[in-house]
Structure 1
């Protein structure tokens, strides 16, 4: 049997350079002492975010001044944890792990910003004994629940998605494979201001002013941000996508597609996808049976119209369908995708990620799993989650798709947290 500890150091270093996850790097370094010594602990600086301050100022509505409020930044990682090799018929578990604003670690619902689960210690998940896939991470700025009535008016970040990266201060090139002087690198936060414009915070380089800058360019409000192929990308409500440069200029990546009401950016299998969410207003109505009582028909839901209703109350919006597009970088346009094949897309409050049906150990993919409060159960604490199947053009609560609902809480018995 080959002695893996004797692999050449230059080969080990090359392998480590391909590991684009802090978790994978830790597993790599834990194999043996020779593997650990083959690569510096922090050689992937753009994943460790060493230059970030513990708290960030709040960008005010006035671009020229920042108020005195500060907010913490929390990083959480999404894991798909599979059962031991001798239990391959069991389903995996999808979970998010990371700290809250007080730096206390929790298990979080993968699609929620503020819903964490109880875990009674002592309990231990030994990731070295289980197959684990790192599906990505999210960054949460602030310490307020997403639906808190006490949210201060000056919280102009508006609880939007945040992306964080370390890059060359001059080019914002990320992970170009060449060693850069530490003084020439900066850490960058990109998010969406309450005005709908992009907000940028830079620190770690002497040329960075360590304050928020609002990018004035905006044709329509931005919907989402992400990092793709080492570049920060933003998309607005029309589907127009831009890349943000180190000089805070924006360059067109894709022309608009229009159509839906909310745009999401998702990297899937090396491609950048645009998910276009269509919403429809629900109206709860009391049907009139014609008996003059006006209360015998029961409550039902219709979309938009008010026909045959005695009493109507405008309710929340709900998702009715999704369209998916992939980025054609050469033509700078979005091309509609009719099928995701075996891919499954997940749309959370602060993150969007994807996984294959093979890794999820299910028979099919081609679905979008998303947060939607319409599917929340007022009688329980379950999070509202919906599923849209592209092939069937069908949308339904997560409970209607047992093969997907088993990924979430509670954890399967083989995890050992019961």
Structure 2
């Protein structure tokens, strides 16, 4: 008996199957099977969990009022596309972010940037069924929000699910958004809310928010960490960690980590020919902040404190504007991890794909341009030659 020709499935069946796929990644793989499967799902069809199409924008004062404008909330995913297992030592993987722009058109984005698209000019698509793909992180953005509003009103957005009970419906899940308000306080918006609610709290401004084990967490600039409740309560999670200038929360191998970034102000303008993550010179901007070192801590929830981590072992931490994540060094083609990859605000590359990406090695306490760290220098751009494309 001849094997079934899955490409001949009826369009109604394909559309029914596609509606059960609970992530963009599975939808991408579904569309990669063949042309008929690909055409059964609209190119820019995205799964948004229980998110409404639009959300209000936090106001620019310390009140709970909002502007009348609503904006689309879009979801972007960070993927690592790895080479064939038998060629991991000779071929480099590719780290990308996939998601819609302000016109809801799908694009590739630089994984560390919220607004920099990759100049991927091929008239084809990546065949995700031919590669091992690892999902590393998720970023939420207001896709049609002007960049000026982002700079003034929004640091980072995280989304988590909550449950409520309705008569006749039983338990119903809905989505909740958490961000850092322009005042430095936390702001929350529950599904169906007409405005954001600013949460009264500590006088110290917050640095970062994240979702860990389904719960929203926030850390202030002193390192004091809280869990955020739907009733706007703040549960103390960890005592302060003083020292650095900017705190990041990162989930790594089942643990919650705190990355403390130390920075100094750049005292001059000029160019630096160290090539960084592309080809050409870097512009060094006067008044910008340049990173000089990082400290890493893990959360000890029983003792409610951050415990310093001196060795990440086989883990690499990646700090982006919209999301931070960890990845196995082996998946990056490296034997050893124990480093932090980040975008340095002091360096702006002349090349369109360059963002001043640098690497801090915890064991050597040294910062290096991406190009100086073997195998990492091609992690972001250009796309690897081994990548299989579908015309």
CA displacement at 1:110 relative to structure 2: 0.6
Mark the CA change 1:27 to 1:182 in structure 2 (over 3 Å): closer, same or farther: farther
Counterpart CA distance in 2 for 1:140 and 1:278 is 27
Scaled by the length of structure 2, the TM-score of the pair is 0.80
Q: Does the alignment pair 1:384 with 2:379?
A: no
Q: TM-score, normalised by structure 1?
A: 0.75
1:316-356 CA-to-partner distances (Å, cap 9, x unmatched) read 21000000000001111000001111110000111101101
Match of 2:14 in 1: none
**Runs of 5+ consecutive residues of structure 1 not aligned to the other structure:** 1-19, 33-46, 171-179, 286-297, 301-312
Cα pair distance change 1:117/1:278, threshold 3 Å: same
Q: Is the 8 A contact 2:317 2:324 kept in 1?
A: yes
- Counterparts of 1:23 and 1:144, CA distance in 2: 22
Confirm or deny: 8 A CA contact 1:49 1:187 kept in the other structure.
no
How far apart are residue 54 of structure 1 and its match? 1.8
2:162 equivalent to 1:163: no
Distance (whole Å) between structure 2 residues aligned to residue 374 and residue 182 of structure 1: 52
**Counterpart position of 1:55:** 54
Tell me whether 1:200 sits opposite 2:188 in the alignment.
yes
Q: Could you tell me how far apart the structure 1 residues matched to 2:74 and 2:351 are?
A: 30
Give the secondary-structure state (helix, strand or coil) at the position aligned to 1:225.
strand
SS in 2 for 1:403: coil
Structure 1 pair 335–358 and aligned structure 2 pair: CA distance change class (3 A): same
CA distance in 1, matches of 2:137, 2:302: 26
- The answer on 1:253 being equivalent to 2:252 is no
Going from structure 1 to structure 2, the CA distance change for 1:84 and 1:21 (only over 3 Å counts) comes to farther
Pair member with larger Rg? 1
Q: How big is the shift at 1:24?
A: 6.4
The equivalences for 1:150-189 within 5 A come to 151-152=148-149, 158-169=153-164, 184-189=172-177
Question: 1:219-249: CA deviations, max 9, x gaps?
Answer: 3100000000110000000001100112110
Structure 2 match to 1:220: 204
Q: 2:312 aligns with which of 326, 329, 340?
A: 340
The answer to which of 380-389 and 248-257 deviates more is 380-389
Seen in structure 2, the aligned counterparts of structure 1 residues 71 and 24 have a Cα distance that, compared at 3 Å, is closer
C-alpha distance in structure 1 between counterparts of 2:264 and 2:141, whole Å: 28
SS in 1 for 2:125: coil
**CA contact 1:141–1:162 (8 Å) conserved in 2:** no
In structure 2, do the counterparts of structure 1 residues 159 and 402 end up closer, same or farther at CA, with 3 Å as the change threshold?
farther
User: Which of 122-131 and 316-325 deviates more?
Assistant: 122-131
Hey, what's the Cα distance between the residues in 2 that align with 1:226 and 1:335? 19
CA-atom RMSD, angstroms? 3.0
Q: Kindly indicate whether residue 66 of structure 2 is the aligned counterpart of residue 71 of structure 1.
A: no
Give the Cα separation in 1 of the matches to 2:343 and 2:253: 22
Are the aligned partners of 1:193 and 1:214 in contact in 2 as well (CA < 8 Å)?
yes
Q: Which moved more, 1:91-100 or 1:68-77?
A: 68-77
Residue of structure 1 in register with 2:281 after alignment: none
Q: Which has the higher contact order (CA 8 A, sep 6+)?
A: 2
Unaligned runs of 5+ in 2: 1-20, 34-45, 273-284
Do residues 276 (structure 1) and 271 (structure 2) align? no
The Cα shift of 1:259 comes to: 0.7
Query: Does the 8 Å CA contact 1:49/1:166 hold for their aligned counterparts?
Result: no
How has the CA–CA distance of structure 1 residues 165 and 384 changed in structure 2, closer, same or farther, with 3 Å as cutoff? same
What CA distance in whole angstroms lies between the structure 1 residues aligned with 2:86 and 2:241? 48
Query: 1:111-144: per-residue Cα shift (whole Å, max 9, x none)?
Result: 0001111233531212111111100111112535
Written as runs of structure 1 = structure 2, the 5 A alignment for 1:77-226 is: 77-85=77-85, 87-88=87-88, 89-141=90-142, 143=144, 151-152=148-149, 158-169=153-164, 184-203=172-191, 209-226=193-210
Q: 1:85, 1:94 → 2: CA distance?
A: 17
- Secondary structure (helix, strand or coil) at the match of 1:280 reads strand
- In structure 1, distance between residues paired with 2:95 and 2:271: 36
In the superposition, relative to structure 1, how do residues 243 and 318 fare at CA in structure 2: closer, same or farther (>3 Å)? same
Contact 2:177 2:189 in 1 (8 A): yes
Match among 350, 367, 384 for residue 412 of structure 1:
384
**Contact 1:157 / 1:193 at 8 angstroms: preserved in 2?**
no
Inter-partner Cα distance in structure 1 for 2:22 and 2:78: 11
Aligned residues: 342
Secondary structure, in 3 states, of the residue corresponding to 1:359?
Answer: helix
Shift of 1:378: 3.5
1:244 aligns with 2:216: no
